[in-house]
Structure 1
Amino acid sequence: MPMEDEVSAHAPDVDDPAGRPRLLVWQDELNASPGYHAIALMDYIRRIGYVFQGNVAQYNALVAQVQDPTHVLAAFDISNPRAHDELLSEVERLLHNVLMALSTRIDQQRVFLKEHFSTDTALTAEYSARIKSDFDGYAPAAFLRGLRNYLTHHRLPVAQSRQTFSKQSFSVTFVLLRQPLLEWSRWNSDTRGWLAAQDDELEIVPMVDSYARIAGGFDKWLHERINLKYAAAIREYEEAADAFNREWDQAFGL
């Protein structure tokens, strides 16, 4: 990626020819510096991940909420089936958001790498290797990506709740029925084979949770890898920014 000229840690001595105050000239130089650009790249990776992780957090919050019998028992009242249908509708809405964000994260990261790091063969090779080791090693990852296509282009997956309770405990989870999923013709052969080998009810909650943990670790690695690549430029920017802030505070009596 092309890098701009280095920026000094000291303010310009004079205003620019257009008469702009030197602090604004200095601020523009800082914002055009390689270090500032590198920090912006890392922030973008964080934001891509946040969209996905935020949707997963909402999904998990509902799962946590229904573990409270006082909150959820009304949804299992057989005299009021609509309450249970509404619960499943909310589960499906949140799962939809998770899967859309999952796909968005993948697509946007690919575009990001191509746009900013296509000439960095070392980083792109590490990126590809990490995808293979982190995601290809988790079998449900391909299923979740395919489930997004199933949901988008075919139908909502058939979701059900499953309750486990005794005198001492109560728990609720959500499952997808395998057979309706297998009726879709557009699974690739590997995913179809994996799906056919699963139980009749797929426990979707731990799949989403595990994928989110893997994605979070991957995004943290990418963030840190970009930081390593531009460590010197970021350090120079931070030193210059500290000097700018001191002069800004002095100028305005802060």
Structure 2
Amino acid sequence: MNVDILKQYLDKIQSAPEQSVIREIDSLKWSFKIFAGNYVELIKLLKFLEDRPESTKLWDVKRKQDLYRMFEEIGRLLFNYLAAASMLIDHTRRCIKKLYRDQKYLEFSNEYEKEKNRLADSDTHQIAQGLRNYIQHRNLPAIGSKITYTPETGLNKAFRILSQSLLEWDKWSPAARRKLQSMGESFPLRDFVEDYFNQVDAFYKWLGGKQTELHRVDVERLNGLKEDAKLAFKQAGMITERELKELDN
């Protein structure tokens, strides 16, 4: 088998419509991983500061500058988290528009709109989107910390976003403004971050499951092309059994 024939196998895979579909879906999965990675970084820091006994020393008056640096780091990670969410939303919009314009996807498109609107209309999402714009166009939100002690629960540390300075901004959606007003002077940062991640995560688990159903045949066809190519390369002596197994893993 000559090189030109082997090249045809590779070209067939690269030009297959199924390859373009799978590449687009994989790209969207990568965007979600970026969002999830930013969540993990932020929540890891908040858990350390709020839950670990050794972080208490940061509230010592002699460690004031160290605590301020923690506030700055929280602000940086919060913006990264919200910016990654916004990027993910934009990427999803492009992906859906590109892949599901055909009439055969009408039922899925209707389901998608319903699930998308459920997420978009949630108070948490409205605040997340507004907060991202607030940080980008105005400033980092004012974040405060509070230490309390009770005999029942012991020492409790919490970081909270202060609402007053946020409400001075006039670009909030009506839903976000109402929610901010209802939460009083401040709201717990960690609860907000976790709640938003859980909502976004649930949506993308639903979307991923739907895409798996919709493109099962595409994946099977593409895998068939890859198997044909691997067999051709094996017969030509250009790939070993060990390398074949590595490609399958």
| TM-score tier (shorter) | 0.7 to 0.9
Residue 75 (1) aligns with residue 58 (2)? yes
Q: 1:237 to 1:74 in 2, by over 3 A?
A: same
Residue 193 (1) aligns with residue 164 (2)? no
Q: 1:171 to 1:246 in 2, by over 3 A?
A: farther
Measured in 2, the distance between the counterparts of 1:169 and 1:244 equals 64
SS at match of 1:41: helix
Residue 28 (1) aligns with residue 6 (2)? no
Corresponding residue of 1:11: none
Corresponding residue of 2:125: 141
Corresponding residue of 1:208: 193
For residue 27 of structure 1, report the CA deviation from its aligned partner: 1.6
Which runs of structure 2 are paired with 1:95-110 in the superposition (5 Å)? Answer: 95-110=78-93
Greater relative contact order (Cα < 8 A, sep 6+): 1
The answer to whether the 8 Å contact 1:35/1:235 transfers is no
Percent same amino acid at aligned positions?
23
CA deviation map 1:51-106 (0-9, x unaligned): 11111110011112222122x12311112311111111111111011111111111
CA deviation map 1:12-67 (0-9, x unaligned): xx65xxxx432221022122223322321220120121111111110011112222
Which runs of structure 2 are paired with 1:42-191 in the superposition (5 Å)? Answer: 42-66=25-49, 67-70=51-54, 72-119=55-102, 120-136=105-121, 138-165=122-149, 169-191=154-176
Q: 1:226 aligns with which of 211, 220, 236?
A: 211
Measured in 2, the distance between the counterparts of 1:58 and 1:172 equals 19
Measured in 2, the distance between the counterparts of 1:139 and 1:190 equals 6
SS at match of 2:61: coil
Corresponding residue of 1:241: 226
Q: 1:253 aligns with which of 235, 240, 243?
A: 240
Measured in 2, the distance between the counterparts of 1:156 and 1:97 equals 12
Bigger helix fraction: 2
**Runs of 5+ unmatched residues, structure 2:** 242-249
Q: 1:115 to 1:215 in 2, by over 3 A?
A: same
Corresponding residue of 1:9: none
Query: Aligned letter for 1:99?
Result: L
For residue 153 of structure 1, report the CA deviation from its aligned partner: 0.8
So what's the TM-score if we normalise by structure 2? 0.85
For residue 171 of structure 1, report the CA deviation from its aligned partner: 4.1
The answer to whether the 8 Å contact 2:119/2:125 transfers is no
SS at match of 1:221: helix
Query: Aligned letter for 1:148?
Result: R
**Runs of 5+ unmatched residues, structure 1:** 1-13
For residue 141 of structure 1, report the CA deviation from its aligned partner: 1.3
Residue 41 (1) aligns with residue 24 (2)? yes
For residue 121 of structure 1, report the CA deviation from its aligned partner: 3.0
Measured in 1, the distance between the counterparts of 2:125 and 2:32 equals 16
Query: Aligned letter for 2:110?
Result: A
Query: Aligned letter for 2:35?
Result: F
Measured in 1, the distance between the counterparts of 2:44 and 2:77 equals 10
